[in-house]
Amino acid sequence: PDRYESDYWVGIYGKNNRFDHNHMVGKTNKGVTLAVRLDSEESRENGNRIDHNYFGPRPVLGSNGGETLRIGTSRYSMHRSETIVENNIFDRTDGEVEIISSKSGGNVFRGNVFLRSRGTLTLRHGDDNIVERNVFFGHGKDYTGGIRVINRGQTVRGNYMEGLRGEAFSSALAVMNGVPNSPVNRYVVVDKARIENNTIVDSRRVAFNVGADEERSAAPSNSTFLNNLLGGIEGEYFLEAYDDISGIEFSGNRLAAGEVEGELADKVEFAPVEFERAENGLLYPVDPALSDLGAPRDLKPVALDQVGVKWYAKSGDEGIFGSSGKVITVAPGEDTLVEAAMAAGNGDVLELGAGEYIANRSIPLDKALTIRGASAEGAEPPTIMFTRPTLIELREGGNLQLANLTIDGALAPDSVGNSAIRTTTYPIKSNMQIEMDGVTVTGLVVNKSFNVLTLGKSSLADRVSIRNSSFVDITGTVISAAAETEDFGQYNVEYLDIVDSNFANVGGPIADVYRGGRDESTFGPFVRFSGNQIAEAGKAATNGSGASLNLHGVQIADVSRNMVALSAPFRVVHTVGTPKTAITGNQFVGTPGFALEELNYDGEHRAVLADNIFAEGADQ
């Protein structure tokens, strides 16, 4: 039940095992879903076969340890496993950056299909692996990737990749830099890699020397990149190298779209290519002269009805809010909202008319629920008041959507840790979504640290979205996502969107987001803070961050077009990897300059600062 307690679902030992036509979906805690173990001599050079399985959606873990399939471990990675992984489907297996983690030698990954899966098939440790005839469909989803190459003697050939949006570690193809004389648990240099006849189209990045830094300083050697058909996104850099690529021979590669950086421009032929989609669902060049480039024409991607079990449905794309189709009208009064919420089913909508709704009990939410004000023209939005420290407690399975209403804390008691919405103190293994649109929150002032939303230990929100909303007279933090402070790379929110909203007299930071440590196995958090009006925020004596916006370890941040007056500064702390922070087009009055810090990077802070105006005349 605790997402950070580790286990694995299936372990394979010994030799000549076959694991086929199984359905595995929804692992929410730390630990690989399926592991091939090489702990004993009897389990090496095993000839195991893993085929025709359905690896269904695995939600974002928010930590290292979310792989779907792992073969071996770093301790035994010098041994050969010789496991065949073929004709499986990996559907939205989003646990972490490594979907498959190959940590042994002599494995074959063939004919697998990856559907909208964040991360990559990663040749993490071990030599002489073959990755061939696999198909990756990203469908434009963030962080969808292809294949990451590390170690010696790897062969990557005849694979097809389309619609991938990952970069760096989750690129469509990532060839890593290594550590000189690397220990087995770090990054062995890429040597004698053969990468040929792959098709990569409509994808964000193919990258060489990924991870190059002071430690990972050994560039690939004795390697080839041949006859690949490449197509990026128009107007974006597609092929990039971050270190020396002289150890890679480039020949016969065609670039159909996308920009090239540096000396890579001389390594590929750039010319537009007309594609058509074949019966197998893949794109191929119309020109027969290009028939020898890219993935083979006889690929037949395995279909959903060929994997898993016949008697259990594959996961669909149903939305969670309003999914039941039931709209329940709730009248004003004492505990009418509480009773309606307790009786509601998953996916129901509670529609509130004008008036006051007083909750004398906290609402324990273990389902997807929408609470919205009726949209009658000219009607006053309903007001919800609560007499307990918390209005809504998010529990296992809880997802919350609020719209067109007011939450007023005037009746709340003076209790330590007040929060209008908070997660339960027990671990929550499922990820949640919280949305607010057209919501006003006011009067959270009965004590010194009254939050709007608090995400606690062992909880992760896939998305928190605030739009067109107003927050006035809040002594604490609007969004507190800073409970995972052990610096293990864990965090509380994947996507945080705060846009086109107003904040006035907020004592703590509007958003407090924390991801500590140096782990590189996750993608988030991602924060968008844009188009907001802010006055007198972050100046309470109880605000330990000293900031009106506090982002620690956020990987991608867009802070733009905000109007800020008489507030504490924006604070951004970069921790690990290659974080991208853009602070642009903001206007400040009576507010100090940015507080920027790099913890693991020797140099100027990497945030992009542009077109920010301070009333005192200092542009930053």
Domains parsed from the chain with CATH numbers: 19-200+276-306 (2.160.20.10), 464-620 (no CATH)
Taking the chain (620 residues) in runs of 10, the rounded mean pLDDT of each run is 90 97 95 96 95 96 94 94 98 96 97 97 97 98 97 98 95 96 92 98 96 93 97 92 95 93 89 94 95 95 96 87 95 98 97 97 98 84 98 97 98 95 94 97 96 96 98 98 94 97 98 93 94 97 96 97 98 91 97 94 91 72
For 446-471, how does the pLDDT look when each residue is reduced to its tens digit (9 = 90+)?
A: 999 999 999 999 999 999 999 999 99
What is the pLDDT at residue 619?
46
Strand partners, 268: none
Return d(Cα 231, Cα 201) in angstroms, integer. 4
Q: Is this structure's pTM higher than 0.85?
A: yes
- β-strand 135-137 against 526-530: which pairing, if any? unpaired
Sheet strand arrangement including 248-251 = 18-20, 49-51, 84-86, 108-110, 130-132, 155-157, 194-196, 223-226, 248-251
Strand partners, 481: 513
For 34-86, how does the pLDDT look when each residue is reduced to its tens digit (9 = 90+)?
A: 999 999 999 999 999 999 999 999 999 998 999 999 999 999 999 999 999 99
What is the pLDDT at residue 467?
98
Give the E-state strand segments of 409-516 in sequence order. Answer: 419-423, 432-444, 451-454, 461-467, 470-474, 479-481, 493-499, 502-506, 511-514
Q: Is 589 helix (H, G, I), strand (E, B) or coil?
A: strand
Return d(Cα 115, Cα 301) in angstroms, integer. 11
Using an 8 Å Cβ cutoff, are 153 and 192 in contact? Answer: yes
Name which of 115, 159, 114 is nearest 134 in CA terms: 159
Using an 8 Å Cβ cutoff, are 185 and 162 in contact? Answer: no
Strand partners, 108: 84, 130
CA atoms within 13 A on the CB side of 35: 15
- β-strand 160-162 against 135-137: which pairing, if any? parallel
Using an 8 Å Cβ cutoff, are 240 and 261 in contact? Answer: yes
